[in-house]
Amino acid sequence: MKGFAMLKIGETGWITKDTPACGPLDAICKPLALAPCTSDVHTVWAGAIGDRRDMILGHEAVGEVVEVGSLVRDFKVGDKVLVSAITPDWSSFAAQENYAMHSGGMLSGWKFSNFKDGVFGEYFHVNDADGNLALLPEGMDLGAACMVSDMVPTGFHGAELADIQYGDNVAVIGIGPVGLMGVAAAAIRGAANIYAVGSRKNCADLALEFGATKIVNYREGDIIEQILDLNHGPVDKIIIAGGDNDTFDQAIRMLKPGGKIGNVNYLGEGDYVKIPRVEWGCGMGHKYIAGGLMPGGRARSEKLARLVTANRIHPEKLITHTFHGLENVEPALMLMKDKPKDLIKPLVIID
């Protein structure tokens, strides 16, 4: 089969590989829709997780099952499925301790395009199929379904990590597709004011539609000053879904004692993040920082898909560019790398 791969750090190309083998608990799927992710860009061009050779990229997909292992209970050949970008081993010790995403070692629930070939091929392998697939709801838009793979669960995980409660004043730093779903999650969890930080107009417009109450443009001035001013003081909670290693410094400075930061941003470069000592209460300010890989798995996919079918969230609105045919994962990924101003998220439909 052919697939679009990371050949080495900084280089991509098409390669040919054997179709993956199906173990007793696994499924083999063919893609119906695919999306490239900013994480693919960090992986290839920043070398953020180290070198990978001839590894098929991609972890966001909707699929059709073409083979199931002998022990798979709930899925059969021909089922159309939501595929979680993070596919933990659900019987692992880590999963039993509620950190399934780290089953097998830190970040090891992230298998596609990290520890094994990803979804940008004619076929892909899903481990623990009963735990990691979910049936595609009847009539669901393929774009929305593909966003349930990663963008929706990651944005929502940012809101979980920040522990957003009703009435909270919240800043969401970064409103690309992940941060936009963070805005939607904050709104659903009952945030009062939501300050969304970004600069692209289409992202800002969608943030307002998803529940942001004010847009803060980081290119037009210091975001700490802007947010402290709009909020008349520090905020309760912060989701970080963009920025760089200095963003924690800014977040700590605009957060209340007892406030919480939920980071889902993938820090692709540098050795350290900055925490300002005094504003962090000299280590005693009760300003919490949690950073997490989204948990993945079937229950989460089913529940988030339910929010889509109930018309409570509209992740299909993230899709600004649609391609057709597997060969177009290449230009779609290049769009993600170049981030033109009108891009939020590209989608590739495999007709």
Q: Does 113 bind ligand NDP (CB under 6 A)?
A: no
Q: How far is the CB of 76 from ligand NDP (least distance, A)?
A: 29
Please, which residues have CB within 8 angstroms of residue 310's CB and are 6 or more apart in sequence? Answer: none
Q: How many residues bind ligand NDP (CB under 6 A)?
A: 28
Question: From the centroid of its chain, how far is CA 73?
Answer: 28
Binding string to Zn ion for residues 123 to 152, with x set by CB under 5 A, is what? ---------------------------x--
Closest residue (Cβ) to ligand NDP?
242
Long-range residue pairs from 207-213, CB within 8 A, at least 24 positions apart, any chain: 207/172, 207/175, 207/179, 207/180, 207/183, 209/317, 210/180, 210/181, 210/183, 210/184, 210/313, 210/314, 211/183, 211/184, 211/186, 211/187, 212/172, 212/175, 212/183
Least separation, in Å, of the C-beta of 187 and ligand NDP?
17
Q: Which stretch binds ligand NDP (CB under 6 A): 65-73, 118-126, 197-205, 225-233?
A: 197-205
What would the DSSP string read from start to end of 175-205? -SHHHHHHHHHHHHTT-S-EEEE---HHHHH
Binding of residue 99 to ligand NDP (CB under 6 A): no
DSSP 280: T
Q: Of residues 214-253, which lie at the interface with ligand NDP (CB under 6 A)?
A: 218, 241-244
Residues contacting Zn ion: total by CB under 5 A: 3
Q: Any idea what DSSP says for residue 302?
A: H
Pick one of Zn ion, ligand NDP, none as the site partner of residue 296 (Cβ within 5 to 8 A by kind): none
Cβ atoms 114, 42 nearer than 8 A: no
Q: Does 174 bind ligand NDP (CB under 6 A)?
A: yes
Question: Judged by CB under 6 A, does residue 307 bind ligand NDP?
Answer: no
Which of the residues 150 through 189 are near Zn ion (CB under 5 A)? 150
36 interface partner picked from ligand NDP, Zn ion, none, CB below 5 to 8 A per type: none
SS3 content of the chain, % helix, strand, coil (to 5): 30, 25, 45
Stretch that binds ligand NDP, among 35-43, 121-129, 253-261, 311-319 (CB under 6 A): 35-43
Does residue 259 touch ligand NDP according to CB under 6 A?
A: no
* Angle, CA of 196, 297 and 192, to the nearest 5°: 25
**Quick one: which of 152, 175, 305, 319 contacts ligand NDP (CB under 6 A)?**
175
Q: Provide the mask over 56-75, with x wherever binding to ligand NDP is found by CB under 6 A and - wherever it is not.
A: --------------------
Q: Do the strands 235-240 and 170-173 form a parallel or antiparallel pair, or are they unpaired?
A: parallel
Least distance in angstroms from the C-beta of 319 to ligand NDP: 13
**CB-wise, 97 or 244, nearer to ligand NDP?**
244
Contacts (Cβ under 8 Å, ≥6 apart) of 299:
none
How many CB atoms are closer than 10 A to CB 104? 14
Residue that has been written with the tokens 């300010």 in this structure: 285
Binding mask 24-43 for Zn ion (x = CB under 5 A): -------------x-x----
- Which residue number, 74 or 209, has a Cβ lying nearer to ligand NDP? 209
Binding site for ligand NDP (CB under 6 A): 37-39, 42, 150, 154, 173-179, 197-200, 203, 218, 241-244, 264-266, 293-294
Binding site for Zn ion (CB under 5 A): 37, 39, 150
